[in-house]
Structure 1
Amino acid sequence: MTLTDDRTTPGAVSPTPSGRATGVAARIETALRPLLRGPLPVRLRAWDGSEAGPADATLVEVRSPQALTRLLWHPGELGAAQAYVTGELEVHGDVGATLDLVRETVAARDLPPLTAGRVARMLPDLVRLAKETGALAAPPAPPATQAVVKGRLHSLARDRASISHHYDLSNEFYEFLLDPHMAYSSGYHVDGPDMPLEAAQAAKLDLVCRKVGLREGMRFLDVGCGWGSLSLYAAEHFGAQVTGVTIAAEQKAFIDARIAERGLGDRVRIELRDYREIASGPYDAVASLEMGEHVGEKNYDTYAEVLYRSVKPGGYVLVQQMSRFAGHHPGGGPFIEQFIAPDMTMRPVGDTLNLLQGAGFEVRGVHAMREHYVWTVDAWHRTLEENWDRAVELIGEEAARVWRLYLVGGSQAFRDGRMGVDQLLLRRPGGPAVVADPAS
């Protein structure tokens, strides 16, 4: 996308007519050279109006000394994200291309991970500049959009707070961003990247229902039902008797309204409860779409056991879940962990299969859908950018900038294989030998 916001800080001065780098920007460039092991990969504009770096490169503007403060306290991804979402740091150009350039520079120059201590030791000129400009100060308050969760990790209360931070943002915003099904998970783009998102989500919902063998009158459990896309689809198109479970109050309110609008009160019931509190069952079939990432590493055994006891012997369970290769941040990285999904845990898909098998499941199929998520996220991103003013109206500029970073970075993570998503078809042993539709 292209950003054209050319605001500058009050009292800013223009660069010299010759274009020669002067002022704060030149001092930042000089200070960063030891860390970067070379020149700036971008054009840098500082809060005093001065510029440095390649004249034909993407312009990155440090609009306030406070941006430098954040970067000194949290070098790398988190500090940069904090400064970006608050508007203290701006990218005048394609954000995705700029992120790619940063990764390429880090890889090509074999740059070490950043820590506050390393910055202080390696960059005395930057620290000196920070002192002179007032940037060497106590850490600024986190942005309002940054998650604040307290309590024991993955306690019922903390999990509710973590989920609420992201999913209770605004039903109206999610209705604006997502397709009419309100599916907040990867679609199934059987016709390729140009397939309309609504059709791709319908294809995914249909695929899930067929894989678990849904038929008229079957009892179906939707664990982590979101805004009800699967619950409503299973009732309307397959005649299932559905129970959906969520811990997000805004989601339940939204689905309950749709149930009433569509006259599905006799087929769909939504419960506001944690997955650990599910006591009904066993059901004929169970599905859980992109919810297992939120239960945490230590609780995944419990999650798998709940799924196992919730389905009847011989019944099928479909888990759609994101994966992360070993060696990468299991939570998705500092930005995701602080702004989007606190306490999320991802792992290699093979490790997840081992945990599900440990609960007693037979694995019947693994369906990789990584590329599909690239196309899904790109569709969400287009909606955001093409309707930017509406997004800002709904959630505010800071939150909209959070979503821009989230969607750009998420698309790149799936594109580059740093993250994956898979449908895992499971069967509880016992019962009649019924083969579900293995559609893929």
Structure 2
Amino acid sequence: MSGTQAALELDDIQSGVLAPRPTPYAATYLVFHIGDRAHGRELMRRASAVVTSAADLVSPSGETWVSVALTCHGLEVLGVPSASLETFAWEFRQGMAARARALGDDGESSPEHWEAPLGTPDVHVVLTAVAPDPERLEAAIDRARPAYEQLTGVTAIWRQECYALPTETEHFGYRDGVSHPVVEGSGIAGSNRLETPLKAGEFVLGYRDEIGGIQMPQPETLGRNGSYAAFRKLRQDVAAFRRYLRQAATSPEDEELLAAKMMGRWRSGAPLALSPQHDDPALGADPGRRNTFLYAREDPAGFVTPAGCHIRRANPRDASVAGEVRLHRMIRRGAVYGSPLPDVDLENDGVDRGLMFAFIGAHLGRQFEFVQSQWMNDSVFFGAGDAKDPVAGSHDGSGGFTVPRRPVRRRLPPLPRFVVTRGGEYCFLPGLRALRWLGDLRD
């Protein structure tokens, strides 16, 4: 079977699946509704000529790219047969809104409070454009515009501008996008030289994964070289986060230490694992060093990097936890939206700000949903009950955060919810041949 081939067909994989984003960069998410099947198919044909392949990563166009993804409703509207749709992951077929309970999207984060039209059957296509700066971003959008202009049966219904600063920081003040897995056959280096490359089938459909299986929707022309994506708009309550740290800390220095213990890194990106006593901005700025560490031998009990902190939950590395860590690794992309809150402010200014999060992988269930439900919003996997991620967890004000230390652990006050889901979608990122196949569908 062709799915057993080890070499990745990079010329058929969208660059947005594997390409690391430039720093800094600007990005735009555009959501479309297909009201006319023929026009939707024409959009796919045109998009196949605009989307950059992963084979172009080293070319000048490698840092400016457009990707195209479809929801299950979008595939259905295009006329993909039901027998084919049934071969896709069942989480994808349900959609993110239907999976809200498993994802911890309750209270303010529940789908009834989401930003329209996210989470509804009206969302069919998600186009993402990324470039090193706003000028080149507009140029990329201009190149993509012919793909949907003059198609009266295709309507743009939502748009979100976002960006990454030269400092790579998000609104809570931490350097973001530090950890990237190594995908076997991609030719792209990972961020941790101690990590063994992961099988391509963990991220791209049609190849063997870590347990020897091959996930691929049918027909092969449609499924091979595709990936699943989860897009989420996450609002960050920056003022509440700052107030919490200020009230829990005993000094400005202690405030920064608590921020590092909650994240697992200092704000500069320097990990506690390599700089446990103080921040090290030079380390945080060094992509060759800042992510090269493990936990099992040096810090099994989490006295340096707490087991419940954000980065250790998202990737326990070689730590002893329930489950096989390598089966839950994922490619993560993040970009901020909205203007930063001034550094001295402890009250909100009314501006909507947060993070546009994107997951890329071949297993929505055991990658994205598992990490979100079992690692972010629970602590059973490392023996700490139902405590949640201190930064991104779905808190209700009843649970706190424990900092392991000798001789007595430090228990922080109950945590409010700092991050609220404003909407999201499960999507399929087809290969370039699949985009053409979708364009050539006939009733």
Instruction: Please confirm whether the aligned pair reaches a TM-score higher than 0.5, indicating the same fold.
Output: no
TM-score (norm 1): 0.29
TM-score (norm 2): 0.29
